[in-house]
């Protein structure tokens, strides 16, 4: 069920909170098993056929960790990591790989056409983070219930944030409603939920009306108007930001209501003055994963400039492939890898750039490469780029009001986390947020529910 749906907001979440409070109040030993069951129910609601895959994945990796505790063979962990990647590869990349192989061998292979289990990329990376730290001697053993919650905790199982075991495992042992600030944390969780819903419903979803028709026209007819192309170019970076950061705000808020603090994922990324700065602010938990578990493993910055540039390029190329089984994602990742490598070489040469110029170049680069990210194929991307330079159809004037509002909020506004921790606990604020929540419910009831963009990854 979607966070922005009646089924979640009016049924599942209230029921889960009541049951969680009862367990915490009267039978604390059942709190974690209850959260595990609720998380599995939440995941199974999407498609019960994928629930066994998640449960087998959890059980397999937990057993591997247990065996490793008695038989410390590093090869065991490597085999488990390979198995996790193979499962991800079969569901997400098998048809993509067969298509490339077919083109190379000039043969046609029947696609497997497997449905992509929601969240498989995220829970696979969680397994890999834990197993890698276990192999390095940094991670302890955990019971099955706690490990299940680490992987499947419902606020973050579908689209993150990517949480390290060090950030969450100790919180499962706390009695969250016995804390002196329990009421304040619960209230701030509600604020985060409301803000995230507002970002998704009032900004992210309306921007899709500027983006989707342009790319659909480019893909279907091979032509799009110049105005529509520019409108989509400006709107999509903002749409994906408010859609994904809105989801993250909701995830952080929901988790906080259950007494769990999840890591932040965004820090005003469109204020970045370099590409490196952008990736420190955008999808921060993924950037951190790629840095610590891939970039450093490829050599990082420890073995000379040439290897550092290669590691950057390969890390971002694989990061692009993680986003989707398509060459457009790979090339998008390659472009960001090349951009980051150029930035490192620029600084190594002792050159500097004025912040304003850096911001302009970074923003233009991100917007232009997002065209490739959003396009289903290279033909669509080329049609969009061609229209951007004036080789497109005539169309209506650009509708700029929603785009301008979104840009102002993204650039000038604080993050939802910062706002939530600054807002005073006044009744007037509570009343305003209550009204906002009611308006959101009416908006959800009036419009079709839009899925979150990152659910496809």
Task: Give tens-digit pLDDT for 373-383.
Answer: 999 999 999 99
Distance, in Å, from the CA atom of 36 to the CA atom of 272, rounded to the nearest integer, reads 38
What is the reported pTM?
0.92
CA proximity to 261, closest of 169, 336, 352, 385: 169
* End-to-end C-alpha distance for the chain, whole angstroms: 17
Residue 449's pLDDT band, with cuts at 50, 70 and 90, is: low
Q: Looking at the structure, tell me whether residues 257 and 138 fall in a common domain.
A: no
Residue 368 in any domain: the answer is yes
pLDDT at res. 59: 97
Same domain, 407 and 358: yes
Lowest-pLDDT choice from 44-48, 101-105, 250-254, 285-289 = 101-105
pLDDT tens for residues 180-213? 888 889 999 999 999 999 999 999 999 999 999 9
pLDDT score of 47: 81
Q: How far apart are CA 200 and CA 177, in angstroms?
A: 29
Of 314, 354, 307, nearest to 336 (Cα)? 314
Report the distance separating Cα 422 and Cα 247, nearest Å: 21
Are residues 143 and 251 located together in one domain of the fold? Answer: no
Catalytic residue status for 323? yes
Higher per-residue confidence, 116 vs 282: 282
Check whether residue 15 and residue 141 sit in a common domain. yes
Rounded to whole angstroms, the Cα distance separating 111 from 96 reads 9
Residue 351 has pLDDT above 90, yes or no: no
Catalytic residue among 126, 127, 323, 336: 323
Q: Are 266 and 405 contained in the same domain?
A: yes
User: Residue 289: is its pLDDT beyond 90?
Assistant: yes
Per-residue CA distances from 64 to 36, 47, 60, 84, 427 (Å): 20, 27, 6, 12, 51
Please state the separation of Cα 252 from the chain's center in Å.
Answer: 13
Residue ranges making up the domain that contains 397: 183-273+353-456
Q: Which of 136, 151, 178 is the last residue of a domain?
A: 178
Does 174 share its domain with 191?
no
Taking residues 245-259, report their average pLDDT: 95
- pLDDT, one tens digit per residue, over 320-343 is 999 988 899 999 999 999 999 999
> In the prediction, which pLDDT does 131 show?
96
Do 259 and 112 fall within a single domain? Answer: no
Q: Quick one: 35 and 87 in the same domain?
A: yes
357 and 235 in a single domain? The answer is: yes
Say whether both 132 and 105 belong to one domain: yes
Q: Is residue 313 part of a domain?
A: no
State how far the alpha carbon of 47 is from the alpha carbons of 34, 116, 284, in Å. Answer: 21, 11, 29
Task: Specify if 287 maps to a domain.
Answer: no
How confident is the prediction for the chain on average, in pLDDT? 91
403-417 pLDDT, tens digit per residue, is 999 999 999 988 999
Domain boundary among 158, 178, 198: 178
Q: Where are the alpha helices (DSSP H) in 324-400?
A: 327-348, 355-374, 378-388
Domain for residue 346, yes or no? no
The pLDDT tens digits for 32-46 are 999 999 999 999 997
158 shares a domain with 94:
yes
So what's the pLDDT on residue 447? 57
Q: How confident is the model at residue 446 (pLDDT cuts 50, 70, 90)?
A: low
**Of 136, 159, 178, the domain-final residue:** 178
> Does residue 160 sit within a domain?
yes
290 located within any domain:
no
**Calpha distance 371→224 (Å, rounded):** 13
Asked if residue 441 has a cis previous peptide bond (ω within 30° of 0), the answer is no
In this prediction, residue 104 carries a pLDDT of 81
**Where is average pLDDT lowest: 32-41, 107-116, 225-234, 308-317?**
107-116
Nearest to 234 by CA among 207, 261, 265: 207
Distance CA 356, CA 351 (A): 15
Query: Into how many domains does the chain fold?
Result: 2
Residue recorded with tokens 């197993």: 131
* Domain annotation covers residue 324: no
Residues 111 and 168 in one domain: yes
Number of helices (H), then strands (E), belonging to the chain: the values are 20, 0
List the one residue out of 238, 264, 341 whose CA is nearest residue 295. Answer: 341
Question: What's the CA gap between 27 and 221, in Å, rounded?
Answer: 61
Task: Name the residue among 198, 342, 364, 191 with its Cα closest to residue 270.
Answer: 364
Determine, yes or no, domain membership for 76. yes
Out of 98-107, 276-285, 322-331, 381-390, least confident range: 98-107
Residue 448 in this model has a pLDDT that exceeds 70: no
Segment holding 11, helix H or strand E: none
């Amino acid at each position: 069920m979607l966070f922005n749906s009646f089924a979640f907001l009016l049924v599942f979440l209230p029921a889960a909170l009541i049951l969680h409070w009862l367990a915490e109040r009267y039978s604390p030993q059942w709190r974690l098993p209850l959260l595990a069951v609720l998380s599995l129910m939440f995941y199974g609601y999407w498609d019960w056929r994928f629930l066994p895959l998640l449960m087998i994945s959890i059980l397999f990796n937990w057993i591997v960790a247990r065996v490793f505790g008695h038989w410390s063979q590093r090869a065991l962990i490597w085999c488990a990591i390979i198995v996790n990647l193979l499962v991800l590869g079969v569901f997400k990349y098998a048809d993509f790989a067969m298509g490339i192989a077919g083109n190379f061998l000039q043969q046609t292979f029947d696609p497997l056409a497997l449905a992509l289990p929601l969240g498989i990329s995220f829970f696979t990376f969680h397994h890999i983070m834990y197993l890698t730290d276990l192999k390095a001697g940094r991670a302890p053993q955990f019971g099955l219930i706690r490990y299940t919650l680490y992987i499947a905790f419902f606020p973050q199982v579908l689209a993150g944030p990517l949480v390290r075991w060090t950030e969450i495992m100790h919180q499962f042992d706390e009695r969250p409603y016995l804390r002196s600030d329990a009421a304040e944390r619960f209230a701030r969780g509600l604020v985060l939920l409301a803000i995230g819903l507002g970002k998704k419903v009032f900004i992210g979803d309306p921007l899709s009306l500027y983006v989707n028709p342009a790319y659909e026209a480019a893909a279907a007819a091979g032509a799009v108007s110049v105005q529509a192309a520019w409108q989509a170019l400006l709107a999509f970076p903002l749409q994906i930001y408010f859609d994904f950061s809105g989801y993250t705000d909701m995830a952080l808020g929901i988790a906080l209501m259950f007494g769990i603090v999840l890591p932040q994922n965004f820090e005003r990324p469109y204020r970045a003055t370099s590409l490196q700065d952008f990736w420190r602010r955008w999808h921060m938990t993924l950037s951190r994963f790629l840095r610590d578990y891939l970039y450093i493993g490829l050599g990082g910055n420890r073995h000379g400039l040439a290897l550092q540039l290669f590691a950057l390029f390969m890390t971002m190329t694989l990061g692009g492939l993680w986003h989707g089984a398509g060459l457009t994602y790979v090339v998008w990742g390659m472009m960001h890898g090349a951009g980051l490598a150029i930035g490192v070489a620029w600084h190594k040469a002792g050159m500097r750039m004025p912040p304003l110029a850096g911001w302009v170049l970074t923003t233009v680069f991100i917007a232009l490469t997002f065209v490739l990210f959003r396009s289903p194929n290279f033909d669509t991307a080329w049609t969009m780029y061609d229209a951007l330079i004036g080789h497109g159809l005539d169309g209506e004037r650009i509708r700029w009001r929603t785009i301008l509002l979104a840009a102002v909020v993204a650039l000038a506004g604080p993050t939802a986390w910062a706002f939530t921790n600054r807002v005073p606990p006044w009744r007037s604020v509570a009343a305003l947020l209550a009204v906002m929540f009611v308006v959101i419910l009416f908006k959800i009831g009036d419009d079709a529910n839009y899925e979150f963009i990152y659910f496809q990854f």
